[in-house]
Structure 1
Amino acid sequence: MDVKTVASRIPRIGDRSDRTDVVAVVRLHGVITPSGSPFHRGVINLQSVESALTRAFAHDRLQAVALLINSPGGAPTQSGLIAERIRQMAAKKQDVPVLAFCEDVAASGGYWLACAADEIYAHSTSMVGSIGVVSGGFGFTGLLERFGIERRLHTAGEYKARLDPFSPEKPQDVEWLKKMHAQLHELFVEWVKERRGDRLAGTEELFTGDVWLGGKALDLGLVDGVGNFREVIAKRFPDAEITVAEPKKPLLARLGLSAPAAAGAMLDAVVQRVAWSRYGL
């Protein structure tokens, strides 16, 4: 066999992608927070997922984009920004469906992200929903008094120091927070209704902040089917190649460095642990 014949049988770079249909996968795993970490990738925000979404939607022979979601929620603004970005990219690929697959949990902001998809699937054991708003904090006034620490806070503006954790809680501040929660909840409900439409069951039970397993979520219209990513994609797109668009690693992770045991990093870890623990994870 001559050299020319051998060379003709070697696939050229780009040949496979030119011939093969693609299902692009984007993993949305972690707590949704604006404060990304340079050390680990256990958080979701627009900055951390933008590059992966761009690569996922860029394939020429794109058959579908699959979002693998495992998130207990988090920051509403980041949830909204990511969902809007997904819809912006999907609008440029009008014949390409976006499918969301709920893993352990797609709750609160995690479900907000799922609603950016055209179709949502859940495992029978997935926890789905939590269409509500929650915030929490700590009060340290007693701790300061115990150690004889005086809190000195100077502001310009009557409400500048609302809900300061080192000051006694004021009823008017709590009332203001509840109004903010109600407004955010209304926006969440509007988004779910916009994206799910008449697939939703006609019950206000949906918007109480409760969470359901996959089968009940299907009955309520929160998801379109019960199944896992592999089986659904194999049935819908049997000839497609699956390619994962991973977010870029943070700088220190690329360098192989670990997070220092700093107070800020430890506090972030506690906040994330609390978010997951609400769902027994």
Structure 2
Amino acid sequence: MEFLYEYGLFIAKAVTIVVAILLVVGGIISLASKQKHGKGNLEITSISDRLEEIANHARQLLLTKEQLKQFNKDKKKRVKQENKDSKEIKGQVFVIDFNGSMDAHEVDNLREEVTTVLTIAKPEDQVLVRLESGGGVVHGYGLAASQLQRIRDKNIKLTVAVDKVAASGGYMMACVADQVLAAKFAIIGSIGVIAQLPNFNKLLKKSNIDFEQHTAGEFKRTLTMFGENNDQGREKFREELEDVHQMFKGFVAEHRPELDINKVATGEYWYGSKAKELGLVDTIQTSDDYLLTLNETNKIFSVKYSIKKNIAEKFGFAASVALETALVKVWGKTQTLFR
């Protein structure tokens, strides 16, 4: 009986501790869930300083002490002479990275980055956007392109560099620039529109499931996933796609009037070299080489805006890591779990 009493007491303590932990955790999550996202974090870092650090580190590894001493001496003389001779004001280069997804949610950060640049940029400055995107939703990439247009409207030189891909909505953004750079094997183009959706109507009928949909307006809904589609709806849907395609073509033709728009707006894509022949891009060059060239006469800065995670998100991530670590310890495994 004494053993059962002690065992029951132990169980009661254990349950109390577990409940207390759950209450604390629940309280934290409840409090955090009521919080709004904190303000975003704006980072402006010097790419020029980073390039200089790389060069200095390489010289320290490769040059002898005498060679390094002579280099530093020559550099001081060169800089002094350049400052004496040059009366030209050297501009600054602001670098923005845009890696776009299908829903183009990255445009929220892009608009903040563009606004930041426009508040500090001078006429002699310029902006480089390192762009990577295969396109996505029309309204999202339309807004992203409009954000880049804000730079052009302020008469600030805009360059877009494509190292990997700028297709469809990605190219819609790229064509806004004063000049478009592309790596030799970057994917460029895909000036077209696509929409697709499954239809489960036959499956529902086979399972004796009725589906009702009521609309006001003849074309409030053209195609549906669950109802029975008809030729009239399909024709209207194709008409809407064609309207969007014409808007896309007009936008590209407006910004790159030298293009044979009917030749390139077929939905096809090309690699960098061919894209240059067609006039879709201006220069075959990587963003890295372009930055090294700019760094000779300009100070280069990276502008990045990101949203801070709230407590709930941070707590969830920490809990996930803790759980994974615990499972690894228990099971003796080292691979990532449940991802």
TM-score category, normalised to shorter length = 0.7 to 0.9
1:48, distance to aligned residue in structure 2 (A): 3.4
2:116 maps to what in 1?
55
2:223 maps to what in 1?
163
1:215, distance to aligned residue in structure 2 (A): 0.2
The one-character-per-residue Cα deviations of 1:203-236 (angstroms, maximum 9, x if unpaired) are 7321111000000000000000111112113224
Q: 1:22 aligned to 2:88?
A: no
The one-character-per-residue Cα deviations of 1:4-46 (angstroms, maximum 9, x if unpaired) are xxxxxxxxxxxx9xx9842111122122526xxxxxxxx433x
Contact 1:70 1:104 in 2 (8 A): yes
Q: 1:116 aligned to 2:176?
A: yes
The one-letter code sitting in structure 2 at the alignment partner of 1:213 is: Y
1:126, distance to aligned residue in structure 2 (A): 0.7
Q: Aligned partners of 1:150, 1:203: CA distance in 2, in Å?
A: 47
From the superposition, tell whether residues 91 and 160 of structure 1 become closer, same or farther in structure 2 (CA, over 3 Å).
closer
1:164, distance to aligned residue in structure 2 (A): 1.4
The one-character-per-residue Cα deviations of 1:70-124 (angstroms, maximum 9, x if unpaired) are 11111222222222232223322x2x31000113210000000001111001111
Matches for 1:265-280 after TM superposition, within 5 Å? none
Contact 1:99 1:119 in 2 (8 A): yes
The one-character-per-residue Cα deviations of 1:225-262 (angstroms, maximum 9, x if unpaired) are 1111121132245232332222322645994356xxxx
Higher alpha-carbon deviation: 24-33 or 123-132:
24-33
Q: Aligned partners of 1:112, 1:250: CA distance in 2, in Å?
A: 29
Q: 1:33 aligned to 2:114?
A: no
1:277 maps to what in 2?
none
2:199 maps to what in 1?
139
1:128, distance to aligned residue in structure 2 (A): 0.3
The one-character-per-residue Cα deviations of 1:127-181 (angstroms, maximum 9, x if unpaired) are 0000111111111213323444321323333333321110122111111111112
From the superposition, tell whether residues 250 and 71 of structure 1 become closer, same or farther in structure 2 (CA, over 3 Å).
farther
Q: Aligned partners of 1:60, 1:70: CA distance in 2, in Å?
A: 24
Candidates 123, 127, 132, aligned match of 1:70: 132
Q: Aligned partners of 2:271, 2:138: CA distance in 1, in Å?
A: 23
From the superposition, tell whether residues 242 and 210 of structure 1 become closer, same or farther in structure 2 (CA, over 3 Å).
same
2:241 partner SS: helix
Q: Aligned partners of 1:122, 1:204: CA distance in 2, in Å?
A: 22
Once superposed, what is the RMSD of the aligned Cα atoms? 2.7
Candidates 173, 197, 204, aligned match of 2:262: 204
2:120 partner SS: coil
Q: Aligned partners of 1:115, 1:169: CA distance in 2, in Å?
A: 37
2:148 partner SS: helix
1:7 maps to what in 2?
none
2:292 maps to what in 1?
234
Gaps of 5+ in 1: 1-15, 35-42, 259-281
Contact 1:25 1:56 in 2 (8 A): no
Gaps of 5+ in 2: 1-47, 49-88, 318-339
TM superposition score normalised by structure 2: 0.61
Q: 1:84 aligned to 2:84?
A: no
1:159 partner SS: coil
The one-letter code sitting in structure 2 at the alignment partner of 1:58 is: T
Aligned residue pairs: how many?
Answer: 229
From the superposition, tell whether residues 137 and 227 of structure 1 become closer, same or farther in structure 2 (CA, over 3 Å).
same
Matches for 1:178-257 after TM superposition, within 5 Å? 178-198=238-258, 200=259, 202=260, 204-249=262-307, 251=309, 255-256=313-314, 257=316
Q: Aligned partners of 1:80, 1:171: CA distance in 2, in Å?
A: 30
From the superposition, tell whether residues 103 and 173 of structure 1 become closer, same or farther in structure 2 (CA, over 3 Å).
farther
Q: 1:152 aligned to 2:233?
A: no
The one-letter code sitting in structure 2 at the alignment partner of 1:55 is: T
TM superposition score normalised by structure 1: 0.72
